[in-house]
Each structure stands twice: as structure tokens, then as C-alpha cells.
Amino acid sequence: MPGISSRAREDWIDVVRGTAVVLVILVHAMQRTELFTGHQFAGFETLTIVVTPLRLPAMFLLSGLFVARSLAKGPGAYATGKLRRIAWPYLLWSVLLIAFFSVLLETTGIGFGWEVTWRIFFDPIEHMWFLAYLLLYFAVAMLLRWVPAPYLLVGVMALSAVPIEGQWLRFWANASFFFAGVVLAEHRRTLERAVARFWPSVIMLVSAIALSIGHATLFLVLPEAPWNLPIVLMFVLGAAGVARPVASTAWLAAPRYVGVESIVFYIVHWPVVSFVAQFAAAKQADPWLTFAAALAAGLLIPWALAALAARWRPAEALFVWPIRP
């Protein structure tokens, strides 16, 4: 039976992850348009509430699936890979974001300056918190690799319940999704059987979305992260089972590509949608046109950068430390 590292399995992972990233870009394009135009997209507000408990938790969970395979390469290769592919783009793009928004601050009065530089090390800039958290989760997984994954999952869920202010709750709550992925990867046969059944997968996916819609419309009150982990699991496994039969086909080539280049799309989309939304709003463009332009740019410019990085080493160095081990 094929394991988690097989090509088919990677395809469905990329499709699900790519879909989650597209949802992230969609929500951010809407939010930045609302910020700069003052227009409220009533229907999209509900959509935001529906997908928010599912999109980033799904991305953390899928990242956790690769921990065991990475650790099998040895601690040195594991650490080097995470430093090159997560720590490096986090540091580089945090500096680039500060430079970008400092220019916007000078020209438009909206943004922040170089005084926030030290936040890189304790309070990530804008959307870069995702990469910072991911890097720390991989570090915890390596340092505590001798602890069984289920114990780690229980431990981080318990830590999220400790009433400490700041980013404590968000950090440990998202860690629960990451280590749930680590646990799933250790039960490859069970995971394989779960995503190999199409109609049960449809039921899980529809149920997860229906529960989230019920929460968004105040029909239901669902628990906050990480206690909504069962719903996130239903969403990921359901989406995986629905996508798996066609994950390798041309029909899903677009979300699969976004999933493969998820780091590029996630990092680049934020300054792009921010700039386009602010520029269009300054020109008093229609809010819907502004939203459409921000969304299109947030998808197409990362797409172009990912394609350029695959062919040109200087562009690749924007996302991977250029010195090869």
C-alpha cells in the first residue's frame, strides 16, 4: 500500500493546501479592500467567518504530515532544510515588508516604519506569523522527537488552555493542528483508508462546512481552536478524499501548483493585495473592481514569481537560502 510519500498522496496534499492558500488570499483581498475603501462586503463577511476556522488550521495540519519523513533524514538535514526554506524567507521578507510599508507610510500615511524591526524576533510582522509559528513547531518536533506524537498533541492542547495573554493561545492552538498532522502521519494505513473512500469523504467535507456555516450564521456555537480539531480533521480528510481521485489530473492543476508553491503565494500575496487595494481606492475605483483587481494580483504575481524562481537562481533566493548544503 502506498505511504504518505507517494506521488498520489502528495498530489492530494498539494490540492488541499493550494485550496486553503487561495482561501487565504481571497479573504485578505476582501479585508484590505474594505480597509481602504470603507465598503463592507456583507456576503463575504459571512464567508470569512466560515473559512477562517478551516483554512490556516488545515495548512498547519498538512505541514505536520511531513515531520516524520523529514526527521528520517537526520537532525542535521532536518534543521538545515527548515532554516533554508522557512527561517530564511521569514527573515528576508520580514525586512522587505518593513521597507515596503515604510515607503507607503511616507507616501500615504498608512503603514509602519523601521522602528518595528525588532518585532521580527518576538512579534512577527503582518501575515509572517504563520512562518514564524511553523518554524517553531518544526523545532519543537525535532527537540522532542523522542516523545510519542499523541503525547505532544495532548500537551500542546493543554498549554493552549493556560490563561496567558498575548499570542499564547493562538500559538499553542495552531500547534495542536500541526501535531495532529504528525499523529496522522504515524498512522499511514488508517489515513490511506480514510481518504480512499469517496462518499464518506463527501459526507465529512459537507458536514465540516455545514457546521462552520452554522457557526457563522449564529445557528450553532462551535468551540474555538484547538477544540474544533475534530471539525478541521473532517474538513481536511473530507477534502482529501474528494480531491484524491482527480488530484493528478489537469482539472486540478491550478490548486495543485499553488499547493506546491504555497510559501511563495502565502508570502507575496499580502503586500501585493495591500498595494493594489490601496492604490485603487486612492483612485476612487469601484469597491468591487478594487477587490477583483487585488484578488487577481494576489494570485497572478505570486504565480509569476514562483515560475521565475524555478528558472532563475536570484529569484529562487527570495524563498530558499541560496547556498546549497
Which structural domain range is residue 142 located in?
7-316
Bond before 226 cis per omega within 30 degrees: yes
Q: Residue 162, Cβ neighbours under 10 Å: how many?
A: 9
Whether the per-residue pLDDT at 9 is higher than 90: the answer is: no
| pLDDT the model gives residue 324 | 67
**Amino acid letter, residue 8:** A
pTM over 0.75: yes
Average pLDDT over residues 273-295: 95
Quote the pLDDT of residue 3: 35
As a whole number, mean pLDDT of residues 155-159 equals 97
In a domain, 322, yes or no: no
Q: Is residue 64 part of a domain?
A: yes
Angle at 275 between CA 30 and CA 119, to 5 degrees: 95
Confidence of residue 1 (pLDDT cuts 50, 70, 90): very low
Q: Please report whether residue 102 resides in a domain.
A: yes
Is 2 part of a structural domain of the chain?
no
pLDDT in tens, 63-88: 999 999 999 999 999 999 999 999 99
Domain count, the chain: 1
241 domain-assigned: yes
Residue 324 included in any domain: no
Q: Quote the pLDDT of residue 312.
A: 95
Q: How many CA atoms lie within 13 A of 147 on its CB side?
A: 15
Q: Which of 44-48, 177-181, 255-259 has the lowest mean pLDDT?
A: 44-48
Share of the chain above pLDDT 70, in %: 97
Give domain status of residue 16, yes or no: yes
1 in a domain, yes or no? no
Kindly provide the b/e burial profile for residues 254-285, where b requires at least 16 CB atoms within 10 angstroms of the residue's own CB. ebbbbbbbbbbbbbbbbbbbbbbbbbbbeeeb
Averaged pLDDT for residues 25-45:
91
